[in-house]
Amino acid sequence: AQKITQTQPGMFVQEKEAVTLDCTYDTSDPSYGLFWYKQPSSGEMIFLIYQGSYDQQNATEGRYSLNFQKARKSANLVISASQLGDSAMYFCAMREGLQGNTGFQKLVFGTGTRLLVSP
Amino acid sequence: GAVVSQHPSWVICKSGTSVKIECRSLDFQATTMFWYRQFPKQSLMLMATSNEGSKATYEQGVEKDKFLINHASLTLSTLTVTSAHPEDSSFYICSAIPSGRAREQYFGPGTRLTVT
């Protein structure tokens, strides 16, 4: 079964507008973390934001915020005031079993969403 | 954030030769490092989990003897692609978790391997 699902292969947004990138996940582990990464054409993976399963509040980092809906198992990334430099692939990822066994700390990725910001 | 470096950033080698890729955490110690592989327009696929001082844990379908991983210190892990073939051509990315900081995971810039 797919652990991380990103249903939007591509998204378009105009500069200065907000955009939401969808991510749903599947786990039976009560302790997990959700990550979002940006991958520009250069290939590097840039860490954007993290949400822990026990975090009471939705994570925010500058223009990035995570709309965490635990009951629905969704962790959508919201980018406010889009900039041309935001054009890239965006990956949602999950790490299960945060407590204890290192072997479960592997990060599993979704298929990604390509975001294109137009002027 | 924290910095992870990879060397080389790109390499071209002939079929049958071996290639070593280094992954270093520059400003933190990493008990655990990971190696991923990414094909064009696809997501990252985990190849193996590398723990300092112990044998790597490989994902199902990844050949241990072909992709040798050594995590000799808290700041260095190496991936050696042995007897490389054209189908091994790919983008290899390493990643590291800072020790004691499980809410973070940082990636290297990747190594593009082309086997001719």
Distance CA A98, CA A10 (A): 31
Chain B touched by A101 (CB under 8 Å) = no
Distance CA B92, CA A44 (A): 11
Cβ-based contacts of B112 with chain A (< 8 Å): 43
Distance CA A48, CA A91 (A): 10
CA distance B75 to chain A (A): 17
Chain B touched by A81 (CB under 8 Å) = no
pLDDT for position A103: 46
The pLDDT tens digits of the residues spanning A7-37 come to 999 999 999 999 999 999 999 888 899 999 9
More reliable by pLDDT, B98 or A75: A75
CB-CB under 8 Å, B93 with A50: no
Banded model confidence at residue A113, pLDDT cuts 50, 70, 90: very high
Cβ-based contacts of A103 with chain B (< 8 Å): 49, 57
Structure tokens belonging to residue B41: 């327009």
For residue A93, pLDDT over 60 is answered with: yes
CB nearest A50 (choices: B31, B103, B112): B103
CB nearest B46 (choices: A43, A106, A110): A106
Structure tokens belonging to residue B57: 């844990």
Q: Is A44:A59 a contact under the CB 8 Å cutoff?
A: no
Cβ-based contacts of B93 with chain A (< 8 Å): 43, 45
Q: For an interface test with A, which of B3, B43, B71, B99 has the most A Cβ atoms less than 10 Å from its Cβ?
A: B43
**For residue B71, which phi and psi values (nearest 5 degrees)?**
-120, 80
Mean model confidence pLDDT for chain A: 91
